[in-house]
Amino acid sequence: MSTGAVFAGIDVSKAYLDVAVRPEEIEWRSSNTDAGAKEVAARLKELDPDLVVLEATGGMEIPVASVLAILDVPVVVVNPRQVRDFAKSTGRLAKTDALDARVLAHFAEAVHPEPRTLPDEQARQLSALLSRRRQLGEMLTAERNRLQSADSTVRRRLKVHIRWLERELSDIDDDLNNAIKESPLWRVKDDILKSVPGIGPIVSITLLSELPELGQLNRKQIAALAGVAPLNRDSGTLAGRRTVWGGRSRVRAALYMAALVASRYNSVIRDFYLRLCAAGKPKKVALTACMRKLLLILNSMVKNKEMWNASNTGTQPS
């Protein structure tokens, strides 16, 4: 082994886990099963990598990411579009599982997304969920094997138990999926948010923790939830000034700081802010409008899993 930094990429498909390690150019394939995930994690633990990168692939990456995290191997789950853009920038257009693993390892080495370890309690919970998943899988396999040679008097009971085990296994997979997505390992939304000029780590963490509905609601709903939607203050014949109030104060505070920075360094928000000021809007009103516009852009980006692109601000109706 070299004394230099070691980076690994894991391409996850339904049947296989393809692993590539740089700069040693070590590669192998394991089955995408509980046993295969444990084998991959154990071999990578021996290689002592500085970073392991996986793509978010609809939940198939959850078991191996969980095992790696429990073994304290530095691992992050990243946005697939970010990796594809990186591959295009390096001239890699061909696509196979082995090539994708190499691209992920190269991405880990070149971009080096910050790994985050799991807190002890989260690691314990993941370990418990994985153990229970393994137990259910073993029981399900055993019951299906018994069904093949079972007498007709017990076949109905076996089928009932198999259906129950399948439901339990599905529920455990949902719990695992949610546990990973709520953990520091899940970098997809974080990467998307921080790609926007004006959104730093603190704002991103605040939005992820205080506004988990981001990307799941339409424009009006997310603006109202965050407290940046202009609300009527009318009574009888009196038409009051529209103001923003209510919502989640921590989210509003984070958006205010983000809009303040973006009004100087984000071309889309800066142009919008200057246009409002030139139209005679008070600076505070213009900045509040920037907060709402920024939130709508973020909501659309997370919903569509798109990185920042100034030519497509993502504020279309949703």
For 256-311, give the secondary structure using H, E and C: HHHHHHHHHHCHHHHHHHHHHHHCCCCHHHHHHHHHHHHHHHHHHHHHHCCCCCCC
Per the prediction, the chain carries an average pLDDT of 84
Q: Band of the pLDDT at 29, cuts 50, 70, 90? A: very high
Higher pLDDT, 92 or 45: 45
Decide if pLDDT at 235 tops 70.
Answer: no
Each domain of the chain, given as residue ranges in start order, spans 7-111, 120-181, 188-304
Q: Which residues contact 97 (CB under 8 A, 6 or more apart)?
A: 11, 13, 16, 18, 29
Q: Please report the pLDDT score of residue 215 as a whole number.
A: 87
- Whether residue 23 is preceded by a cis peptide bond, meaning omega within 30 degrees of 0, is yes
Q: Give this prediction's pTM.
A: 0.57
pLDDT of residue 281: 92
The per-residue pLDDT for 313 is 60
Confidence check: pLDDT of 4 > 80? no
Architecture of domain 7-111: 2-Layer Sandwich (3.30)
What integer pLDDT is reported at residue 230 of this predicted model?
Answer: 64
* Residue 225 or residue 199, greater confidence: 199
112 conformational bin, left if phi > 0, alpha if psi -120 to 50, beta if neither? left
Dihedral angle of Cα 291, 296, 297, 302, to the nearest 10 degrees: 120
Q: What is the pLDDT of residue 77?
A: 87
pLDDT at residue 88 in the model: 87
Arithmetic mean of pLDDT, 150-168: 93
Q: How does DSSP classify residue 210?
A: H
pLDDT at 208 over 90: no
Q: Span 140-159, mean pLDDT? A: 92
Q: Does residue 72 or residue 45 have the better pLDDT?
A: 45
